[in-house]
Amino acid sequence: MGKLKHKLETSSFVVTAEVTPPKGAGIKKLLKNAERLKPLVDAINITDCQRALVKMSSLASSRVLLDNGIEPVFQLTCRDRNRIALQSDLLGAAALGIPNILCLTGDPVKAGDCPDAKPVFELESVKLLKLITKLQNGIDDSGIKMNAPTRFLMGSAINPTLRGNSNQLTRMSHKIEAGARFFQTQANYDLEDFKAFCLEAKKYNTKILAGILILHSFDSAQYIQENIPGINIPDAILERFKSSKDPLETGIAIAVESMLQLSAVVDGFHVMSIRKEELIATVLENYYAKSDTQTNSTLR
């Protein structure tokens, strides 16, 4: 059993982070970022060509982490693979000992660096979860018996808002029925809305890791506001960056403040950054220093 699964099943507080594979075959920076996070988190997500940008395989990168004593969460999207390729990668991941999987539909191809590539999307995240449940039961998607089942801890993502998007809890319930056992959320900078969603989500008997996306400048906040669907950044945060003499410190402070306010209503955190992964460790170190989570944690 992986560390992440054990902690979730024993209702221990969990912290995960996200690392992007390299644009190329070199793994030096991947390992450097992961090693910095290793003592601070329970597992590290490896993104699957996030934002439809060509990167090293999430499957291969997950194994690189495992070989270096770091528990990975293998992200798998439906964008680039039909059900044959999805099953093939899943069986390979199981054979390589990768314990955790996050099932995602995937970003649109047109958002990335190969806009003329042909999108697949034969499945979406709920159908992918259902497919993996079959593999967990020892049969493939066609009902053919396999020589050994998979043994993944299955998770998915959700947009943690109740305002203007009331179908999110329904979507979450469908994913739970399909096999999801934990959720890593997108970011939500409206903390009252975020808290309200998490309190409602608790009724579904699942585990919620609140997504904390670190802002590092006014430009980064504006980019997210304009380019990442489903995330709204309140004017107060934008103004805070505009008036800040040290935007980097402001972004770290906002992330830590959010974590402190949300910690009582979630099962853990999933910390992310856009092009500034070195900030994740700084945010976590600041958070642990300002909370009693460290006392109750078995991370160190």
CA-wise closest residue to 41 among 49, 33, 53, 52: 33
Mean pLDDT of the chain: 93
Within-domain flag for 232: yes
Query: How many domains does the chain contain in total?
Result: 1
- Tell me the mean pLDDT in the region 104-108: 91
- Within-domain flag for 299: no
Residue 212, pLDDT above cutoff 70 = yes
Task: Return the residue matching tokens 């976590």.
Answer: 284
- Give the pLDDT of residue 294: 45
Higher pLDDT, 65 or 276: 65
Q: What pLDDT is recorded for position 299? A: 44
Cβ–Cβ under 8 Å, residues 152 and 139: no
14-34 confidence digits (pLDDT tens)? 999 999 999 999 999 999 999
At residue 113, does pLDDT exceed 70? Answer: yes
pLDDT band at 298 (very low <50, low <70, confident <90, very high): very low
CATH, residue 199: 3.20.20.220
For the cut 50, the answer to whether the pLDDT of residue 295 exceeds it is: no
Query: What percent of the chain stands above pLDDT 90?
Result: 83
Contacts of 14 (CB under 8 A, 6+ apart): 4, 7, 8, 42, 207, 209, 267, 268, 269
| pLDDT(300) > 60 | no
Domain that holds residue 108: 3-291
Question: What length does the chain have?
Answer: 300
Nearest to 45 by CA among 184, 246, 224, 195: 184
- Kindly state whether residue 170 falls inside one of the protein's structural domains: yes
Tell me what the mean pLDDT of segment 254-280 comes to: 95
* Angstrom distance (rounded) from CA 280 to CA 277: 6
Q: Is residue 165 scored above 80 in pLDDT?
A: no
Within-domain flag for 88: yes
Within a domain: 297: no
Share of the chain above pLDDT 70, in %: 96
pLDDT for the residue 292: 66
Q: Is the dihedral of CA 231, 232, 236, 241 positive or negative?
A: positive
